[in-house]
Amino acid sequence: MVDGQGRHAEVAGGGFAGLAAAAALAQRGWSVTMHEKGAELRALGAGIVMWNNSLKVLDALGMLSVLIPRSMTPPFYETRVQNEIVSQEDFDGLHWRTMTRKDLHQVMVDGAMRLGVEIRVDSEVVAADPSGWIELANGERREADLVVGADGVASKVRESIGFGQKRSRYDDGITRLIVPRNKEKLGPGNWDNVIDFWRFEPRVLRVLYVPCNENDLYIALMAPIADKEGSTVPISLDLWAEHFPHLRPILEPAAKLHGRYDGYQTNVLDTWSAGSVALVGDAGHAMCPALGQGAGCALVNAYTLAQNVSDPAFLTIADALQAWEIEERPYTDRCQSRSAFFADTRSMSKGNQFTDEVLETAKYDPTAKTALGAL
């Protein structure tokens, strides 16, 4: 296999995983067509934390410098219970940044197009085959040396091939929203911090407060699935302001927005690849958001996938994909497991939970690797 010259990839899904895979492949000389089933490319969700691992990927793809002025690094990750501070963590200089998903997605779209990726909207991949072809909703069949399924938690690429998986669901879920920061109305305190507000009395509720830049604030409001009032969207201003009265200036605009409440889940697949088809992102390894690594692992695995299939040491795409999974999967498996533990136990509320072990995924640098060679 000689780099990507003369080779073609079809990528299903225009989210972060699909864009990272498409861009990394194009950067290595592949011709790439990416399919997005929606009528336009747009980011789902609200805000996001990008840790060192994913920032390394964005930098390698030439996208990070554009994101810097649209994002920020908060001074601390602060945890509060019943509005009492229990910890403030700065991660000892580890690189991390907060931003809106909209900004990240647009920068990745622009970067992928600059690298030569062909992007098709209104183009849904409904099936794929390990021998190397996809079928579109309009009946068109397209052949490829590599097929990347990055089409989300309900992946049609995955289901059409029949990858085995175990799905776990949890008691809680969140509503994600972007609102104005309004920090001048919030009173004393460092409102440039990420602040994780927990309440256990008189009911379980959580607000994750994440400043993204000077103007935009990402809030994630967690409530048990069984709490019908807490999981209602648009949110109940009376409920949330009663339990977090100091956050009223940001809850008022939040109550006017239409969002989506999503329950936590983890999907663990038997394998990430079959023949010339690979799965990345939520299609392959959906996880709970406790460690903010769903998109991070997606970017890392998409990037290292491109590294492997472009490595001349591998004789076939299938060999490269098998070696890729052997090398990369343990990081993601451990991250999925840790995220599931925190979601199941709500123990992020204890503070000081970002130990070296927990930060393993964040500290990983996938761009520092050389060609793997056949394992």
Alpha carbon distance 355, 274 (integer Å) = 35
Q: What is the pLDDT of residue 2?
A: 41
Alpha carbon distance 275, 186 (integer Å) = 55
Q: What is the pLDDT of residue 102?
A: 96
What residues have CB less than 8 Å from 75, skipping those under 6 apart? 90, 190, 192, 193
For the CA atoms of 242, 246, 247, 248, the dihedral, rounded to the nearest 10 degrees, stands at: 60
Q: What is the pLDDT of residue 101?
A: 97
- Angle of helix 294-309 relative to helix 317-345, nearest 10 degrees, comes to 170
Q: Which residue has the tokens 């793809």?
A: 61
Q: What is the pLDDT of residue 44?
A: 76
Alpha carbon distance 17, 43 (integer Å) = 12
Tokens of 188: 């004393």
For the CA atoms of 270, 53, 191, 70, the dihedral, rounded to the nearest 10 degrees, stands at: -110
Alpha carbon distance 262, 231 (integer Å) = 9
pLDDT in tens, the chain (375 residues): 345 568 999 999 999 999 999 999 999 999 999 999 998 888 777 999 999 999 999 999 999 999 999 999 999 999 999 999 999 999 999 999 999 999 999 999 999 999 999 999 999 999 999 999 999 999 999 999 999 999 999 999 999 999 999 999 999 999 999 999 999 999 888 999 999 999 999 999 999 999 999 999 999 999 999 999 999 999 999 999 999 999 999 999 999 999 999 999 999 999 999 999 999 999 999 999 999 999 999 999 999 999 999 999 999 999 999 999 999 999 999 999 999 999 999 999 999 999 999 999 999 999 997 544 333
Which residue, 244, 233, 238, 167, is CA-closest to 209?
244
Work out whether strand 146-149 and strand 277-279 pair parallel, antiparallel, or are unpaired: parallel
The DSSP output letter for 227 is: -
Tokens of 55: 């920032």
Q: Which domains does the chain possess?
A: 8-70+101-167+265-368 (3.50.50.60), 168-263 (3.30.9.10)
